[in-house]
Every structure is written in C-alpha cells, then in structure tokens.
Amino acid sequence: MSDLADAAKRLVLGRPVRSDRLGHTLLPKRIALPVFASDALSSVAYAPDEILLTLSLAGLTALTVSPWVGLGVAVVLLTVVASYRQNVHAYPSGGGDYEVASVNLGPKAGVTVASALLVDYVLTVAVSISSGAQYAATALPALRGHETSFAIALVVVLTLLNLRGVKESGTLFAVPVYLFMGAMGSLAVVGAVRYFSGTLPPAESAGLGVAAEQGFDQGLMGLAGGFLVLRAFASGCAALTGVEAISNGVPAFRKPKSRNAATTLALLGSISIAMILSILLLAQATGVRFVDDPATQLLRDGVPVGEGYEQHPVISQLAGAVFSGQHLLFVLVSVVTGLILVLAANTAFNGFPVLGSILARDGYLPRQLHTRGDRLAFSNGIVTLALGAIALIWAFDAQVTRLIQLYIVGVFVSFTLSQLGMVRHWTRGLRTEPDPQARARMRRSRVVNAIGLGMTATVLVIVLATKFLLGAWIAILAMAGVYGVMQAVHRHYSRVRAELALGADEQSARALPSRVHAVVLVSHLHRPTMRALAYARASRPNVVEAVTVGVDADEVAALRAQWEAADVPVPLKVLDSPFREITRPVLTYVRSIRRESPRDLVVVYIPEYVVGHWWEHLLHNQSALRLKSRLLFTPGVVVASVPWQLASSAGQTGLEDSVRGTVPGAF
C-alpha cells in the first residue's frame, strides 16, 4: 500500500529534488513576471467591473467619471511601484514589508504587517479563483449553480501544481499569462483603431438604462455622490494587490536579484496601468453597463429587464463589441481572462509560503512552515494557504462582490507601514553617510517613499471609510486574530527557549545525572521481554530491575516461577494493584524513585510489538501506550521503546516506506 501511495505521490509531484539543486529553481525575469505579476495583471479583469458596478448605483450619468477614477488608481499604482523599487534594493532578503517594518518600526509593527499580508494572500486566492469560476460559468452554462465546487476544485489543482516547485509551476503558467497580455493588447489596439475609424459597435448592454439606487437620485451630486466616487476608487485599488509579492519574492529571482526584481516591478506597473485605463476607456466608448443587480437596475424602455437577463463581465462585453464577427477571438479573450483569474492566485501561492517561512524562522509561526518539501517548495505553507482560501470560498459561496469588500484592506495596511519604515530607513542612513552622491541618492529615495506613504495612507483611510461596514471589518478582525496567534506562538517559543537554555553550571559534566535507574516493564516472560532486559543491561545503568503489576495472583505466581526457572539475572519486583490498574501503580513507583533520589535519572524500558497490518493494531493491549503518554509528563523520566518485529512486519522496514507505528502490546 505504501509503495502505491509513494508512486502516486511521485506521479503527481515529481521526483524529490536534492537540496544542492536549489539554485536551479531560481527564476529569470521572463518567468518571474508571470509568476509574481499574475495577481496584479488579473485585477484588470475585475477592478474595472467593481468601479463600474459601484458608480452604477448613481445611475447612468455616473459612469462617465469611470476613466477619471481609473486614472486615480493608475497614479497610486505608479507611486507604489516606484516606492517598492526602493524596497527591493534596500531589503533584498525576501522579508519584504515585514522586514522593512520590523527593522525600522519595531517587531510589533512587523507582525502587524505580516498579519495583514497573510490575510490578504488568502483573500487573493479566494477572490481570484471565485472570479475565474464566474467567468467559467459564463462560458460554460453547465457550471452555473456549481461555481463554489468548481472554485474549490481549482484551488486543489493549483495547490498540486505549486507543490511541484516554484520554477515548474511558473513555467507552466507563463504561457497563459503572456496570452492574456497579448489578448488585452489586441483588445486595446483593435478597439482604438475601430473607435477612431468610426466602426466600433456598441456593447451588448449599451442600449439599456441604469436605475439609480435610493439616495442617489441626483447622481454624483452632494456628499453621497462624493462618497460613492471614493468607494469606487477604493474598489478599483484592488488593482494594486500583488505588487508587494515581488518584494517578498526577491530570493526567488536569478542574480542580480534586486535589479531583476526592480525591472519586473516596472514592467508590472506599466502593463497594469495601460490595461486598466484601456478597458475603462473602451467601456465608456462602447457604452458598457455593469450593475450589482441586473434584474432590477438595468432598464429596457424604462422597465427592469427581469431575472431572465444574463449580465456578462466587462471584458466579455468589450470582446464581443471589439471583435464582432470574429467569434474565435472573442472566445480566446474569454478563455485567457478566465485563466489569468485562476492563475492570479499563483502569486499568493508564491508569496504566502515564503513569508510564512520567514515568520516561522523568527518564531512567529509553527516551525513546520520553515521547512521545504520534496520539490524544494515550502509545502506546508502552500497547503495552509489552500485550506484558508477553500474555507473563504465555501463561506462566501464564491461570490466576488461579497469577497471584494474584504479585499485590499490588508495590502494597504502593509503598504503604509512599509513606506513609513522606508522613510525612517533613509533618514537613519543619512545620519551616517558621508558620501555626497550616496546622500543625494538617499534623499531622492526618501522623497519617493514619502510620497508613497502619503498616497497609501490616504487610500487606506478611504478604504476603511467606504468599505468598513460592507465587510472590511471582517478582514480587520481576521488580521487581529492572526496577530494574536503569532504573538502567542512567539511567546511560546521564547518560553521554551528560556526553559531549555543551559545555565553556567549546566555546561559542564555536573549537568549529568548522579545515577541511572533502569526499570524494565514486564507482563510475560517472552522474547520481547528478554530483548528489553538485554538492552537495559547493555546501557550499563547503576540500577536495573524488572517491574510487573500484580493484577492477577495466579499470573504473578506463574511469572515468578518462570523467572526463577530461567535464572534471569535481573530482580523482579511486583507492584500491588488492588483495583486492577496498571498505569497508576507504575507511575507511583517511578515517582517514588524520583523522590528518594531527585538527581537520579529513571529510564523506563517498554517492550513493544511492531505489526504490519492495520487490523493488528486492534488486537493488542494498549496499556503501554497509556503508560508512555503519562510517563512523558513525569520530570526526570526517560521512556525507551524496545521494538519486537512480528512476522507480519517483514519486508516493510525499507526507508522508502512510510513510517510504521509500533503497537504497544508486549506489556
């Protein structure tokens, strides 16, 4: 069975990779761009949707400001990209925002950033996969009503692909990402040509009216209208998610790491800005209508279109208009858009495990997240991210509109604290740097990060003000929970480290016990017992004795007779048990030895059977298992298991097999 499981694992994940091959997993820029930028690029597929959806609450005329909202998002994105180019040069170790905040603002600020990023990575997977499932349901009507199950299946597939390794998954995902770039570029170019030549047809929803929601009858006029524009801007800022992933993933780049990461950031920013502005401008030119509730908000001749109307995403409507008469191109755009939304989650699958590994190294997360798997990927972090995303998708029924309200809060918390940390970094450096050229460079960098700080802090305030009651409070609560867990884990590791540290007198031989008292537990006189006795005597303890519990007088008498007849060179001690207990008398006896000689070490040897079949686990006494679990919590006591392999375990001891359990049955 284990051979079959191992073969299946190798088929799915590939052969294990040696640790000295880690350098071969590093990414060139052409692979790093799709690996780390797919999240930010994919936001082109849903950020314009969210801008138009929010503005549509104020009616049809409000949609005319959508390009200006997109321009505001582009300015923020440009500023953040420029700021993060400073980050990757100053902190190339892969800690990203967490390292910047920890070094310059203190550990608590670093943990705050880390908790925000971890939550945002999980939301990135949930939002991207859910959006991809919605696009898939548009193209494949059979999936309608099953978007949640399909989204969960996509997360499982992405998890398996990433468990194969970063470079392998990146190479696999590069083709659809570049196809998406090409499709969006073609959409923009062809759309512009047709617009200026006067041949651009209207979108499928262009002839419909949009009913304003209650409170927005005057459009965008007044305080409510201004608040709605800010809310649309906050939703559009989802386009900035994923930028921070590159600063966390600098160690995955080929050398020169910082320069390659900075170049990838520049490419990411320029491509994302061009795409989002092109889509919003084309949406206005073709008259796209996109609303939250199409059945009631969209009007045909002043009457709601009703439940029978099917609203397609913005890019699908644009592709239908720009490539009218070219069905193949329309299908290509729809397919690659759905793919990029799914693959956007791959950015989080690369960022979350790396950040989790760094946090585990620093003692803020379980140390298992710091270890690499067979394929040199941080497997435990990948699985943890997948489980968190699946839980969110299931809880929110894969609805992007519901999930998007939780989104981007965390990333702007990390943006703001990171930029504040970078300002302090350059200020500290200026105090000690004598070189005029270096000082001038530091001043320029500080100005860039200061502008980034002001911009991201402003957006954070807008996001909190406009999205808090719509669901952002859930993300904030999740961040607070993750922060609390990380602090608790750190306190635990610190406490354990303090308990285990050697004192001045313990660094010498005086740390050794004065004597060793060996106790061999016996139930019958058979081969496992004799092996345990031989093992105990071979360790040369100061005292060695066999101990049995007197549950049945006849069995004890028979054991004594066998013991004397076999002339066993170890004394046999019988512990009285009037209530037929086994665990309590042994514990009481061992503790009495410790009380009499507190500096003595007591070693309890327990014979155990090793079986080869699962059903054999049910056929043996479990008293030794209970004993071991209790003895482990007794100070000054060491438990030694002495295995005896039964015939059924033959041939099942190879290193390639999974670890077999030892069944406590001999005692």
Q: Are residues 470 and 556 in the same domain?
A: no
Q: Are residues 450 and 525 in the same domain?
A: no
How confident is the model at residue 221, as a pLDDT?
63
How confident is the model at residue 385, as a pLDDT?
93
The closest alpha carbon to 35, from 173, 181, 242, 241, belongs to 173
Residue where a domain terminates, one of 459, 491, 523: 491
How confident is the model at residue 20, as a pLDDT?
46
Looking at residue 647, which CATH number applies to its domain? 3.40.50
For 52: left if phi > 0, alpha if psi spans -120 to 50, otherwise beta; the answer is alpha
Is the residue at 502 inside a domain? no
For 212: left if phi > 0, alpha if psi spans -120 to 50, otherwise beta; the answer is beta
| pLDDT per position as a tens digit, 71-107 | 988 888 888 888 888 888 888 776 678 888 999 999 9
Looking at residue 188, which CATH number applies to its domain? 1.20.1740.10
Is the residue at 1 inside a domain? no
Q: Are residues 218 and 329 in the same domain?
A: yes
Domain range enclosing 659? 509-663
Q: Are residues 52 and 111 in the same domain?
A: yes
Within the chain, how many helices (H) and strands (E) appear? 22, 9
Is the residue at 9 inside a domain? no
Is the residue at 199 inside a domain? yes
Q: Are residues 121 and 206 in the same domain?
A: yes
* Cα(255)–Cα(645) distance, integer angstroms: 52
Residue where a domain terminates, one of 491, 517, 540: 491
Q: Are residues 405 and 518 in the same domain?
A: no
From residue 515, give the alpha-carbon distance in Å to each of 510, 570, 598.
12, 18, 10
Q: Are residues 347 and 424 in the same domain?
A: yes
Is the residue at 399 inside a domain? yes
Q: Are residues 547 and 644 in the same domain?
A: yes
Q: Do 544 and 570 form a contact (C-beta atoms < 8 A)?
A: yes
Q: Are residues 486 and 513 in the same domain?
A: no
How confident is the model at residue 134, as a pLDDT?
76
Is the residue at 112 inside a domain? yes
How confident is the model at residue 490, as a pLDDT?
93
Residue where a domain terminates, one of 436, 463, 491: 491
Q: Are residues 484 and 534 in the same domain?
A: no
Is the residue at 295 inside a domain? yes
Q: Are residues 474 and 522 in the same domain?
A: no
* Cα(252)–Cα(249) distance, integer angstroms: 6
Kindly give the parts of the chain with pLDDT less than 50.
1-2, 5, 9, 18-24, 509, 621, 653-665
Is the residue at 23 inside a domain? no
Q: Are residues 106 and 134 in the same domain?
A: yes
* Cα(82)–Cα(80) distance, integer angstroms: 5
Domains identified in the chain, total number: 2
How confident is the model at residue 651, as a pLDDT?
58
Q: Do 587 and 575 form a contact (C-beta atoms < 8 A)?
A: no
